[in-house]
Structure 1
Amino acid sequence: MDFTGKVVIVTGASSGIGAATAKLFASYGALLTLVGRNEERLLRVAEACEQAKGNKPISLLLDLTQNNSCEEVVRKTVETYKKLDVLINCAGKVVLSTLFDNDMDGLDEIIAINLRVPYRLTQLCLPHLTTSKGNIVNVFGAPMRSRPGFTPFCMIRDALERFTKFGGLEIAPVGVRMNAVRPGITRTNFLSNFNISEDVMDQVYEVISQVVPTEKIIEPEEIARMILFTSSDICPNLNAANLVVDGAASWS
Structure 2
Amino acid sequence: MRLHRPLLLEGEAGVGKTEVAKTLARWTGGELIRLQCYEGIDLGQAAYEWDHARQLLHLRTAEATGAATRDETDRLEDELYSERFLVRRPLLRALDHGEGVPPVLLIDELDRADDEFEAFLLEILSDFTITVPELGTFRAPTPPLVVVTSNRTRDLHDALKRRCLYHWVEHPDFEREVAVVRMRAPDVAESLARQVAAATAGLRDLGLYKPPGVAETIDWATAVHLLGQRDLTVDTIDATLGTVLKYREDQERVRGRGLQALVEDAARRAT
TM-score, normalised on structure 2? 0.31
Larger Rg: 2
TM-score with structure 1 setting the length: 0.33
